[in-house]
Structure 1
Amino acid sequence: MWKPERASKKPLYQQIADHLERRISYGELPPGSILPSERKLAEQLEVNRSTVIQAYEELRASGLVESVVGSGTRVSRTKWGIAPKHTPNWRQYTEGGTFLPNLPFMRRIREVTRSHPNIINMASGELSSDMFPNDIVQSLLQEQTFNEHLGYDDPQGYYRLRSSLVSVLERNNGIQTTESSILITSGSQQSLYLITQCLLSPGDAVAIEDPSYCYSLPMFQSAGLRIFRLPVQQDGIDPDDIIKLFREHRIRMLFLNPNYQNPTGTVLSQSKRIRLLKIAVDLGIPIVEDDPFSLTAFEGSPPTTLKAMDTDGIVLYIGSLSKIAASGLRIGWMIAPQSVISRLTDARQQMDFGLSIISQWAAERLLNSDQFHRHLDQLRVSLYHKQQIMVQAINRTLQGRVTFHAPDGGLNLWCKINQVVDDGKLLEESIRRGLVYVPGSVYGSEPGFVRFSYAKPYTADISSGISAFAEALNTI
């Protein structure tokens, strides 16, 4: 994001005015565009509000912007007194369409993390940069020559990557599959998007966990799906709740995250997995298993996946490298019956003609590297260490004020605040003190829950972040 240069001889307000004038002249801000409020722009640019006021006054004086009571500041429709042209009403367009915008809390979090890159970020589920396998990827790029065709690749995904995943998934997750049953995607969200758009229809009823990461994704509402809740207990959902929902609403699909569930961190018990699969088969309901966290298990073998137990082809399995290696590679995968893979591959080809061959090639080399297992071991140790620092900080500064359970894997702590709070006010007070996190209501929870991720913040910042939250809690 552009920011004024404090070392420049040109006054800050003039730099801001010039920057906005350029954006207006380039058409980035067409006539009628609403500009950020003085307070918000000052926050984004890290300047005093008076500086933004002066910049806006400069633009008003030149006729580029105008102030409208109740509407704020907007780009003038009659620039420099010239009669307006028939510019499209872009605001009307952006408020249309069927794909809904992100939830307000998520938009606020994104805005803060973009404008304040040094804020302590406990909202993102991304790994911190020191946990990426940069050294492994760099050595692979130096040691191995890229000789692949740079044209469009198979929209189902680079064959050698799919072949490698067959071995990796069997070895690490106990999943048996073939190359023809795997679709390479840009990550779990693209997999979910393809499923909701291609396998379901508006008005279909689906069941998701409560709370659930899926509540933070407007794609379900955009697809016109009816969403019903499966409350998450200490050992996961109650499979018998599915029977009741099916009888009342004819549920067509289940979306579950059985291992280190996001956001609660719970693991579905083995007895419930067996019961769940039997019910799904009896009722003929597909299960979408989102499994980004299994390989983060701190000790021992990862929890069993539903897909590894699936003998009836009823589970659509989703995984990715984002939470265990490198989110920037944008590599995920889906395992499904070949008829489903064929349908989604066709849709995928209409969207983007497939992923970059370069990122798929790098991912295939990474998965086949002898060092990848070393990376996973180091990742688990690092995540456990960061989790324990967060647990200790919470016990030290928030003892008795929040309740939580530390899971044996995953990236998050799910905390219940033991007092009545306003989610919005608490988040804003935390942001003022240099911390951002995700309020629990984003995941469908009632107010008074928060999700702290210990993956994104650096180890040295975790205690400071929890202290900032404690201070914010004291003010409301």
Structure 2
Amino acid sequence: MNQENSASYPKYKQIIDFMKEKIARGEWPIGSKIPSQRKLASMFDVNRSTVITALEELTADGLIEGKMGKGTIVINNTWTLLATTPPDWNVHVKSGMHRPSQAMVQDINESESNSNLIQLSKGELSPDIFPKDKMKYAMEKVAKNMEVLGYEEPKGYFPLRKELSAYMKTIKIESSPDSILIVSGALQALQLISIGLLQKNSSVLLEKPSYLYSLHVFQSAGMKLKGLSMDEEGIKVTAIKRADPQEGQAILYTNPCFHNPTGTLMSQKRRYDLLKECEEHQLPIIEDDLYRELWLNKQPPSPLKALDKNGHVLYVSSLSKTLSPGLRIGWIVGPEPVIERLADIKMQTDYGSSSLSQRVAAEWFENGLYQLHMETVRTELRTRRKVMLNALETYAEDIATWTNPEGGFFIWVHIQPSISMKSLYSRALKRGILLNSGSIYAQETGSYLRLSYAYASLPDIDRSIKILAELIRELQV
């Protein structure tokens, strides 16, 4: 038996060997930052003192060094340092055009894979809601009729676009298959729009707060985000005039149905007024409608795209929130010249979304499985929303206020005592709860949380809200 596999082999030695291998193989080149003590402790299921012992030995060997404000850095590689100087990949990493995520967003993304945490952060349906049997049926039917899986035409698998065209009519959007582009999720739709339709230094007007602030899709393409104030009906139309850029292109991004993160549902009147204002300003609109089918009280107003008679709106949606993020199937609806432009860029990027996923998605729509599934999803989410709202009333009525969303995944919570949100985040994580602070969505004033009732189990929802209330009261003192 190898030492590494022996139960008696010290854990700190296992950590040292692991890190030495990473350095020797060039996976952690000179100048790179090693994982945090917390992450290493979690990886090896040890306390931090064990990690510190390992780091001290590696430091004594001259392989790593703690640098003020930078963490612990690899400074030497005695195995692969030859006569030539190796490239400083750290310089290249920092020079890339695409900006890195916020540090907290990166931390959340990593922690969301930890099944031991109660996930109040996830914008995803619980595995308990996943329609395993129906998905197996759809996949088996696709497999039974399987042909060669080659590249699809630029706009995507035609039968899927045909089914989506029919589905769009149920929400009052008239769109032929030629005006639909299949993409690998809504995020790719935004990326294609950012590089295909907008110039550098363009302005993207959007709600503030907004999920888009937690990404760097538009900023990485050299664009500026300009936040617009909201009320209980959505974006304030008067804010568009004040934010109208004097120079360069501009586009408006909006998430009118069960807005992420606030859960706001834009009223029918506000939709009419918003479209009219944007038409007057010749301001094109990206309508992000991912949460539309997740209505829990009554069906939401018609999409902006349904009111659009002049090709003013690009409509974006996907199956990631309603069916499965793993399928990576989304779509853009817009004027044909725009769709053709974006399809050309997509072909240059990935030569089309998964042929298999597109066929499976088409099967869901063709046989009516999708709408039946959505009825089940709504029933489940109503129960989950009720449990979280009841827990908030029971444990946090005196320390917080919150929205009562008509659909979607999220409750937007305003913590009334002035507390450190970083401290709340870290303390909650130690208690096994993963949170999303409002700051990652550019909520710059007050203490806010975006709580998801879609993923965690019902007992975990109740228990975690009770713990959060306790932590808030501790921080208040």
TM-score (norm 1): 0.93
Post-superposition offset of 1:387: 0.6
2:17 alignment partner in structure 1: 18
1:308 partner letter? A
- Map 1:315-326; keep pairs closer than 5 Å: 315-326=313-324
1:310 alignment partner in structure 2: 308
Deviations along 1:100-124, one digit per CA (max 9) or x if unpaired, are 011122112123334x321011111
Three-state SS of the structure 1 residue aligned to 2:451 is: strand
1:440 alignment partner in structure 2: 438
Three-state SS of the structure 1 residue aligned to 2:153 is: coil
1:473 aligns to 2:472 (yes or no): yes
Deviations along 1:391-413, one digit per CA (max 9) or x if unpaired, are 00111110121111211111100
Residue correspondences, number: 470
**In the alignment, is the contact (CA less than 8 A) between 1:21 and 1:64 conserved in 2?**
no
**In the alignment, is the contact (CA less than 8 A) between 1:184 and 1:333 conserved in 2?**
yes
Q: 1:233/1:88 Cα in 2 relative to 1: closer, same or farther (>3 Å)? A: same
- Map 1:170-249; keep pairs closer than 5 Å: 170-171=169-170, 173-246=171-244
**In the alignment, is the contact (CA less than 8 A) between 2:317 and 2:332 conserved in 1?**
yes
Whole-angstrom CA distance in 1 between matches of 2:213 and 2:59: 42
Whole-angstrom CA distance in 2 between matches of 1:405 and 1:39: 34
Whole-angstrom CA distance in 2 between matches of 1:6 and 1:273: 62
1:150 alignment partner in structure 2: 149
1:450 alignment partner in structure 2: 449
Whole-angstrom CA distance in 1 between matches of 2:64 and 2:239: 57
**In the alignment, is the contact (CA less than 8 A) between 2:286 and 2:314 conserved in 1?**
yes
1:348 aligned to which of 346, 349, 352:
346
Post-superposition offset of 1:213: 1.1
Deviations along 1:295-344, one digit per CA (max 9) or x if unpaired, are 11113334311111111110100000011111110000000101101111
2:30 partner letter? P
1:154 partner letter? E
Structure 2 unaligned spans of 5+: none
1:56 aligns to 2:58 (yes or no): no
Whole-angstrom CA distance in 2 between matches of 1:5 and 1:295: 51
**In the alignment, is the contact (CA less than 8 A) between 1:56 and 1:65 conserved in 2?**
no
2:263 alignment partner in structure 1: 265
Q: 1:289/1:39 Cα in 2 relative to 1: closer, same or farther (>3 Å)? A: closer
1:130 partner letter? D
Whole-angstrom CA distance in 2 between matches of 1:81 and 1:222: 34
Most deviating of 125-134 and 24-33: 24-33
**In the alignment, is the contact (CA less than 8 A) between 2:297 and 2:406 conserved in 1?**
yes
Most deviating of 190-199 and 365-374: 365-374
2:12 partner letter? Y
Whole-angstrom CA distance in 2 between matches of 1:437 and 1:72: 24
1:266 partner letter? T
Post-superposition offset of 1:251: 6.3
Whole-angstrom CA distance in 1 between matches of 2:238 and 2:248: 14
1:164 partner letter? E
Whole-angstrom CA distance in 2 between matches of 1:21 and 1:142: 46
- Map 1:112-131; keep pairs closer than 5 Å: 112-114=111-113, 116-131=114-129
RMSD over aligned CA atoms reads 2.2
**In the alignment, is the contact (CA less than 8 A) between 1:161 and 1:363 conserved in 2?**
yes
Whole-angstrom CA distance in 2 between matches of 1:281 and 1:81: 61
Whole-angstrom CA distance in 2 between matches of 1:57 and 1:285: 58
**In the alignment, is the contact (CA less than 8 A) between 2:207 and 2:230 conserved in 1?**
yes
Whole-angstrom CA distance in 2 between matches of 1:84 and 1:126: 51
Post-superposition offset of 1:275: 1.4
Most deviating of 257-266 and 33-42: 33-42
- Map 1:326-405; keep pairs closer than 5 Å: 326-405=324-403
**In the alignment, is the contact (CA less than 8 A) between 1:208 and 1:254 conserved in 2?**
yes
2:426 partner letter? E
Three-state SS of the structure 2 residue aligned to 1:451 is: strand
**In the alignment, is the contact (CA less than 8 A) between 2:261 and 2:441 conserved in 1?**
yes
Whole-angstrom CA distance in 1 between matches of 2:123 and 2:71: 35
1:230 partner letter? L
Post-superposition offset of 1:474: 2.0
Three-state SS of the structure 2 residue aligned to 1:316 is: strand
Whole-angstrom CA distance in 1 between matches of 2:101 and 2:267: 33
Q: 1:466/1:311 Cα in 2 relative to 1: closer, same or farther (>3 Å)? A: same
Three-state SS of the structure 2 residue aligned to 1:319 is: strand
2:74 partner letter? V
**In the alignment, is the contact (CA less than 8 A) between 1:294 and 1:303 conserved in 2?**
no
**In the alignment, is the contact (CA less than 8 A) between 1:155 and 1:355 conserved in 2?**
no
Post-superposition offset of 1:450: 0.8
Most deviating of 30-39 and 441-450: 30-39
Three-state SS of the structure 2 residue aligned to 1:79 is: coil
Three-state SS of the structure 1 residue aligned to 2:225 is: strand
Post-superposition offset of 1:149: 2.5
Post-superposition offset of 1:221: 1.6
Most deviating of 223-232 and 289-298: 223-232
**In the alignment, is the contact (CA less than 8 A) between 2:263 and 2:405 conserved in 1?**
yes
Q: 1:271/1:37 Cα in 2 relative to 1: closer, same or farther (>3 Å)? A: closer
Whole-angstrom CA distance in 1 between matches of 2:39 and 2:275: 50
Structure 1 unaligned spans of 5+: none
TM-score (norm 2): 0.93
Post-superposition offset of 1:67: 2.9
1:96 partner letter? S
Whole-angstrom CA distance in 2 between matches of 1:28 and 1:96: 19
1:420 aligned to which of 418, 421, 424:
418
